[in-house]
Structure 1
Amino acid sequence: MKRLLLGFLLMASAQAAELRIYPGFTEYRESVPAAAGDYVVRLNQEQAAHLIPGTLNLEGPAVLQVIQQQREVWLNSLEGKTVFLRDGEKVRPVELVRAEDLTVRDPATGRFFNVSYDRLEFPELPPAPEERSMVQWNFKVDRPVPAQVSYLTRAYAWNPRYTLEVGAQDSSARLSAFADIRNVTSRDVRVDKSELVAGEVNVEAANVYKGGVAMFESQDRAAPAAAPMPSIASGVEGSGVYRFAITEAFDLPARSTVSLPFLNPQVTLERFVGTTRGFNPRSSKGKLDRMYRLRSDVLLPAGVVTVRDEGVLVGQTSIPDTAAREERVFGLGEDPDVSYNREVKVLSQTKDSARYQITLTLENAKKRALRVEYKENFSGNVTLEGQAQRTAEGLSIEANLPAGGKLTRSYTLTFQYR
C-alpha cells in the first residue's frame, strides 16, 4: 500500500511551516497533498519530546485508525549493508541483519550474533543522536483527499519585551516593544506564514513534552530567496485573544531568538512616590517606593518592562495583559531620598473599640517636587477623621511634596469591634 510520509528528512535544509505562536507554545500546521493509502507522520526524538501529547491531528479525510510507533529509522536503512565491528585493535566487516537488537552476520563464518552500538563503525557519518530514531504515527483514512497536519509544540514560543524610557518630563515617556520569538530545537525552520497570539490560552500541562515540526518526504523545496525583513501587523481581537500577523516569511534558526519590532504604542505616564501598607497600631518609619502609572492607546500583551529614567536603568517589572487605556501601576524599589515617619498615639482602647491618632510626616530630600500617594488598608467598622481620604480598601493621602521639604498629615481611626 502506498504511503505518504510526513516526517523529518535527515538533511540540513530548513523546513517550511505555518506557525501560530503563543507565549508558551505554538500551533504548527502544514498542508498535505492527496495520496492513496496511509498518511505517515514522523518526528525525530528531539521534536517528539517537545510535542504536547494528544494534539497531533490529520484534518481533511475521516481518520479510521491511528497507530503510534517508535522506529529506528537510520539503522533500519543500513539493514543488509556492511558495517564494521571493532574487536580490540581489529576492525572487520559484518552485515547488519536486524537494527532493532543490533544483530549482525559475520560473512567469514556465516554466523549471527548481537553487538553493542559502541562497537560499530559506519562507512558514512552517522546522524545526530536525536535523528537516529523517529516517533511515527500511521493514519488510516477513508479516502485520498488533501489534508492538513496540525499539532501543538513547546519548541517555539514568543514573549513581548518592552523598554520604557522616561525623560525629565513625564510627557516625554516612550515605550518601545519587541516580540522575542524562540526556537529551542537544533533545526532551522523556514516560517512561510505565521502570527503571534496574545491573551490567556491554557493547554493541558500534565506530561507536557516540548514541540516538533514535520515535512513531506515526497516534496522537494528549493532554497528560499532572501526574504524582506518581516514586520508585525496591528492586533485583531477575537474570542478574548489578540492575533498579530507577521507580514513576510522569515527564518527561525536553530536554538535562537528572533526579535522583531512589535506595536507602536502611544503612552501617558505619571511618576510618583508612594507605599501601600496595612494598618499597624505601632509607630514606624521607612522609605517610599518609586512608582509609575502607565496607560497605552493599544493592548499591551503580558511581558517584561525595562525602565530607564532620565537615561539610568531603574529596574524591571512584569505586566499582565493590559487593555488599551487601562491603567497599570507598578513600583521599582525604594527611593532613598523620600521617607515617611508614622507616629501612632493610642487615645483609647477597650474590648469593644480602639481609637488611634496617627501623624504622618513625609520628607523629600530631592531638588524637585514629587507627587506622593500614601495608602493604608484596613477592614471592619472603622471611622476616619482628619487629613486623609476614605477609600474602599482603607485610606489614602495624595499630595505634592515640595523639593527639599516636608509634609505632615494627621488623622484619627476608630475601630468598633461590636
Structure 2
Amino acid sequence: MMICVWLVLLYTHITSANINNVSYTIRIYSNLAEIIRPLDKLPLEFADDDWNHIRSDSITLFGGNVNIKLQTITEQKKALNGTEVYIRSPISSDAAIKLIKGIIIDEANNIVKIHDESIAGQQALYITVPYNQIYYLEEPTKPKHYVNFTYTASDSNLFVSYLQSNLNWRTQYQLNLNHNESDLIAMANIRNDARSSVFIDQAELICGDINLQIHQIQYDRSFRKYRSGSESHNQQQANSMQTVFADTMSPVIVEQGKELAGLYVFSIEQPFIINGKANYLLPMFHPQVSVERFGLISKTFSTMPMHGKAQRSYRLRSDQYLSHGNCIIREHDRVVGEISLPNLAANDKYEFSIGEDANIIYKENAVLISLSTFNETESMMKDSLEKNLPLGAPITRARYIYTIHLQVKNFKTREVQIEYEQKGFHSYNTVKLVTIDNDQFIQDGSSIKSNITLQANTTENYIYTVELIR
C-alpha cells in the first residue's frame, strides 16, 4: 500500500443512492459551498473524484467545547508496482501494432520492465512508457482519502464543516416592462459541477460582498498531479449541461431573505436533489418594483463641438433587497437588453443604460467669452497664517467663462424625458454655474445637470454659462 499523510479537508458527498443518511446543511455561496453535517464514525472515507472539489484549509469541527488536538488526512492507493501489463512494442508501427508483456517497476514515472527477444534477446529492458500506451489487465484503483481527528468535547453532538467548489449559485432576473407596469422575476440558479448527484436536505443561499477564494482547491489538485506524474488522473470528462426546474407538484420554496451581518440569507427547508453537471432553478422573491425610463445625455466637458445620441436608460427601485445577478430586460415581450444587477438595498435606486437611442440626438458647443488671470495671494496668506506656515510665492490662476449651447432633438412620435449631465471638469480647480437661460440647469458638485421634457418631433435649444478656474 502507498500511503501519503497530509493536512487537507474532508469531503462529504451524498448521492441519490443513499439519501437516507443523516441530514446536513449546505450554505451555498457564489463560488463555493459550506457543508455542515453531524460528525459520524471515524475515520471518514472519501473517493478521489469527490476529493477534487475540496478546499483543504477550511476544515473545522465544532460542538460542545470541542478541542481538536490532531487532524490527519491519509491518502491510500493500491500500489501498481509489480503489476503485469501490456505495452506497445517499441518496434511497432501504425500498420502493425505489437503488444508485449511487461511489469511496472516505477508507477510514478511509468517505468516498465520488458523481455522482447526481437529487440534485446534475453536481456531485460527498462523503458518509460507514455501513460496512454500502458494496457492493464484489470481496472486500476483510484486513491481513497481518510480523515481522522483526535479531540476532546463536552458534548457528543459534534459537527464538521468544510468548503467545496462543485456547488455554487447565482440570482438571475427577468425584468418585464409593459406600458406603465413593471414585473421583476427572480430565480435562484444552483449549479452542481460534480459528476454525481448531490442530495440536499436543507440549504441556505448566501449573497453579498463575500471574499471566499478557491485557490487552495486548485493547489491541492496541482499537488496531486505532480505527485502522480500524470495530469490525466484529475481531468474531468466533459458532460452536457442539464437545466432542471423545480417540480411544481412538490415545490421547493426559497424563503424570504434575511439580513445577517451585512449579508443576506435565503433559506430552503425542503430536500431536493441536483444531478451531476446540472443547474437547478428555483423561484425566489417577487418584489414590487418601479422603473423610470429616460434618455440620458451624460458627457465630459470639451471645448470642441460635440454631438451624440442619448442612452436608453432606466431607474429601478425595489421594495426588497436584490442580490447580485444577471438580468434580461424585456419591453412589450421583446428582449431589449441585458445588465448585471449589483447588490441593491430595499428602496434604493439603481440607474443603468442598455444602449443608444437613435431618435434622441444632441449637439453641444462651448464658446469662450472671457479669459482673465489673477494672483491667488489673499487666500494663500490666510491659509499660511492659520497653519503658521511661511508665505510662498503667489500663484497665478486663470479664469475661463464659457457659454454652453445645447441642442436636443426628439424624432419620436411621443413625448420623452431626458436627463442631461455635464461632467469631467478634471483639469479645472473649481466649477461654478454663474448664469443660466432658464431654471432648468442646476449644479451638483462639479457637474451641471438638467431634467428636460421634450415633446414629439421637436427641437429645443438651451444655453447656460459656467466659470472655470485652473
Q: TM-score, normalised by structure 1?
A: 0.79
Structure having greater relative contact order (Cα 8 Å, sep ≥ 6): 1
| Structure 2 partner of 1:235 | 257
Q: Contact 1:14/1:187 (CA < 8 Å) preserved in 2?
A: no
Structure 1 residue matching 2:453: 3-state secondary structure:
strand
Among 70, 73, 98, the alignment partner of 2:75 is 70
Q: Contact 2:35/2:161 (CA < 8 Å) preserved in 1?
A: yes
Q: Contact 2:310/2:362 (CA < 8 Å) preserved in 1?
A: yes
| Structure 2 partner of 1:177 | 186
Does 2:26 align with 1:19?
yes
Among 165, 173, 190, the alignment partner of 1:162 is 173
Which consecutive unaligned segments of at least 5 residues does structure 2 have?
A: 1-9, 90-97, 114-125, 222-246, 374-397
Larger Rg: 2
Shifted more, 382-391 versus 46-55: the winner is: 46-55
Which consecutive unaligned segments of at least 5 residues does structure 1 have?
A: 1-5, 106-112, 213-225
Q: Distance in 1 between matches of 2:275 and 2:158?
A: 27
**Alpha-carbon displacement from aligned partner over 1:279-316 (angstroms, at most 9, x marks no partner):** 21221000010000000110000111111122221111
Give the number of equivalent residue pairs. 377
| Structure 2 partner of 1:368 | 414
Shift of the 391–9 alpha-carbon distance from structure 1 to 2, 3 Å rule, reads closer
Among 410, 415, 430, the alignment partner of 1:381 is 430
| Equivalent residue letter for 1:402 | Q
Among 209, 227, 231, the alignment partner of 1:200 is 209
| Structure 2 partner of 1:327 | 349
Shift of 1:44: 3.8
Among 199, 203, 213, the alignment partner of 1:190 is 199
Shift of the 10–20 alpha-carbon distance from structure 1 to 2, 3 Å rule, reads closer
Structure 2 residue matching 1:13: 3-state secondary structure:
helix
Shift of the 359–93 alpha-carbon distance from structure 1 to 2, 3 Å rule, reads closer
| Equivalent residue letter for 2:170 | N
Q: Distance in 2 between matches of 1:211 and 1:262?
A: 35
Among 28, 33, 39, the alignment partner of 1:32 is 39
Q: Contact 1:155/1:211 (CA < 8 Å) preserved in 2?
A: no
Shift of 1:140: 2.0
Shift of the 9–270 alpha-carbon distance from structure 1 to 2, 3 Å rule, reads closer
Structure 2 residue matching 1:173: 3-state secondary structure:
strand
Q: Distance in 2 between matches of 1:10 and 1:383?
A: 66
Q: Distance in 1 between matches of 2:18 and 2:402?
A: 71
Q: Distance in 2 between matches of 1:104 and 1:331?
A: 64
**Alpha-carbon displacement from aligned partner over 1:160-217 (angstroms, at most 9, x marks no partner):** 00111111x2x311111111101111121000110111211212565454999xxxxx
Richer in helix (by share) = 2
Cα RMSD of the aligned pairs, angstroms, is 3.6
Identity of aligned residues (%): 24
| Equivalent residue letter for 1:53 | S
| Structure 2 partner of 1:109 | none
| Equivalent residue letter for 1:86 | Y
Shift of 1:337: 0.9
Does 2:59 align with 1:59?
no
Shifted more, 174-183 versus 148-157: the winner is: 148-157
Q: Distance in 1 between matches of 2:291 and 2:330?
A: 13
Q: Contact 1:370/1:401 (CA < 8 Å) preserved in 2?
A: yes
| Aligned residue runs from structure 1 range 13-412, under 5 A | 13=17, 17-33=24-40, 35=41, 39-60=42-63, 61-72=66-77, 75=78, 85-86=85-86, 119-123=134-138, 132-142=142-152, 145-167=156-178, 169=179, 171-204=180-213, 206-209=215-218, 228-351=250-373, 352-377=398-423, 378=425, 380-384=429-433, 385-386=435-436, 387=438, 388-412=441-465
